[in-house]
Amino acid sequence: MWLFHAMCNSNRRLDGKTVIVTGSNAGIGKVTVEDFYKRGARVIMACRSKSKAEEARDDIKKTCQNSTQTGEIVIVELDLTSIQSINECAKKLVAEEEQINILVNNAGIMFAPEGRTEDGFEMQFGSNYLGHFLFTLRLLPKIIKSAPARILNVSSVAHNFLWGNLAIDDLNWEKRKYNEKQSYYQSKLCNILFARELARRLKDAKIDGVTTYSLHPGVINTELLKHFDSAYFRGMHWLFTRIGGLFFKSPLQGAQTTIYCAVDENAGKESGQYYAECALKCSSAKANRMGDAKALWDITWKMVGLPSDYDPFDASEI
């Protein structure tokens, strides 16, 4: 267990607030749901597997059975590898929820073998970044109307390991030989650039009260490590979970920066920044290339099929 880690010390309550956490049936996502639930929030678990989400929800409620002033946990089905699923889930949430105060884009896969989503996107690019881009923009009018609100992208320090800058001309891995590690690093860089560009566009649209964040949770011993054997060598997964696990964070420790960005009062004064260990950090130079951030936004918009006349910053009809 990692000995050197920061903890979110904020006691802020979330009574009357609605929070969405993607990929929240396990790992740091599950811990994040539990924390928000204890703070009194209405927490929506947006997960691909309803049965796994229900099992996680029941486990959280059992763990918190002696806690007072807990909130509510709701489950919605969301498959971030399916544009249809994303659009349907977002439409349901916008129609049925009175407000959305915090969105945590937490779901992700790591070092997955080459594969494609049902819409033809490279799997890690699709599930870690592309799906969250579409989900966020479909929810954004409701989030704006619910301000003050926060949007969090769980990224990784691993974005530093990407060879060169973002390959704007081949985001979908159609021209290059697939590399599962580089694909993962690219998706995490996209998460940071998305948070930066969204913050810039919110400012340009003169929208106050909606802040964005990207963050590195730390190296955590979770099921994300399951593809390590194929990415490195046979036995690597065992090595990391048995020996390396002594130096990894627990899911509870790994969730702290997410919780900090979601609830801390000082973090609420900032937008578009990158965090680790519950503090503002400097990201890599490639994560500060605003030209890449804009180009990524424009290309992604077309990839996910958003209409040219759709304005995610217009909350007037919500």
Active centre residues (catalytic): 184
Q: How far apart are the first and last CA of the chain?
A: 46
103: nearest Cα among 312, 285, 295, 307: 312
3-state DSSP call for residue 140?
helix
Contact 223, 27 (CB under 8 A): yes
CB count in 10 Å sphere of residue 84: 10
Q: What is the residue whose two structure tokens read 């609605």?
A: 18
Range 32-65 burial, b when 16+ CB lie within 10 A, else e? bbbbbbbbbbbbbbbbbeeebbeebbeebeeeee
Q: What is d(CA 59, CA 268) in angstroms, rounded to the nearest whole number?
A: 31
Q: What is the DSSP string of 190-252?
A: HHHHHHHHHHHHHHHTT--SEEEEEEE---B-SGGGGGHHHHT-TTHHHHHHHTGGGGSBPHH
Could you give the count of Cα atoms lying within 13 Å of 169 in the half-sphere of its Cβ? Answer: 2
CB count in 10 Å sphere of residue 318: 14
3-state DSSP call for residue 73?
strand
DSSP code, position 175:
S
